Amino acid sequence: MSHYILDGHEPQRTDPVSWRQWYESADRVVARTEIGPDIVISTVFVGLDLGCEPDRPLVFETEVMEAGVASVDARRERYSTWAEAERGHAKIVSDYRGA
């Protein structure tokens, strides 16, 4: 599994030791939105490639939590760039607000 840190909003590949040191204190939140009392939509930089394509690492993730809890059935989307993550977050928020 490949490890990444952020340089500004740009993911940079790194080694596991450097990743862990960076990860412990990094602000990785792209966006967080609460909808009503029970739904939280969170988009973060995970720093690990969660995809299968070496030329397009999926290092950002949006997750929908209900009642403050993520589940295996939770809606999740993954992205390669900060800009994609912002757009994806906004789309999911729009979907839930429109429901």
Instruction: Enumerate the domain spans of the chain.
Output: 3-98
Q: Residue 94: exposed, middle, or buried by beta-carbon count in 10 A (0-12, 13-18, 19+)?
A: exposed
Q: Model pTM?
A: 0.89
The tokens 């040191």 sit on which residue? Answer: 21
CA-closest candidate to residue 65, choices 40, 95, 82, 84:
40
pLDDT in tens, 8-55: 999 999 999 999 999 999 999 999 999 988 889 999 999 999 888 878
